[in-house]
Amino acid sequence: MNHVEPSWSQKLGSNLIANVLITDKSHGNLSLNQPKKVLHERQRDLVDAPWSYLQQVHGSLVVKIKNAGEFQGIEGDGLITSEFETPLSVQVADCAPVALFSTEGILAIAHAGWKGLASGIIDNACSNINDLGAAPSIAIVGPCIYPANYEFSIEDLEFLQHTFGMSIRSETQSGQLSLDLPEMVRISLNRNGIDEIIFLGGCTADSPRFWSHRASKDPERQAMVAWIESLS
């Protein structure tokens, strides 16, 4: 399967390679709000197999994929597969994209904003991996909004603190109350037994490489796409 150079890759055992590509503006708009033909051509220019993707709703539903390109655009916020050469993707412009791998070759991907994290999207993705017979051990977290740029209401923050603790409370660069979304993701992953967490890409609201809904009201989206290659 042809593809551009991944943002991250790692061998799983002796014959599998886990791959994650995080797109940026140079790769083009990966939003669903464009003709499917244009979107699919852009996707396959990056990873040349049909992608699975969702109409994301900030919930906790995880959809199982058996064949490349299944369930394009149905509602949900997570995808899982035990098949190889099967790209799974999420679109983001401030929420955190998260890829989860088991060493046995199971892959899940999640769209993790604060509402999805509060609803249990990471918990459900990890539970689905466990149901397939192997615990997730590695997580890749892509670019998202960081607390310096994420002013947040005290009511919503106090609600989240009951579940995630005080470490998610932070301040913006101007001293306003803010939410630490990467910390929420880290806590969710740690609670599911994942300690190998790799953060890539930094803050979407700070970087000219990425689109940001919060900072610029951008309608475009970057994507995280993940897949596992078999060397056998």
Instruction: Tell me how far apart the alpha carbons of residues 142 and 61 are, in angstroms, rounded to a whole number.
Output: 20
pTM of the entire structure? Answer: 0.97
175-224 pLDDT tens trace:
999 999 999 999 999 999 999 999 999 999 999 999 999 999 999 999 99
Q: Which domains are delineated in the chain?
A: 8-144+181-230 (3.60.140.10)
| Helix 121-131 and helix 181-191, axial crossing angle in degrees, nearest 10 | 30
DSSP conformational letter for 109: E
Helix (H) or strand (E) holding 42: helix 36-46
Whether residue 23 contacts residue 30, with contact meaning beta carbons closer than 8 Å, is answered with yes
Question: What pLDDT, in 10s, does the model give residues 126-154?
Answer: 999 999 989 999 999 999 999 999 999 99
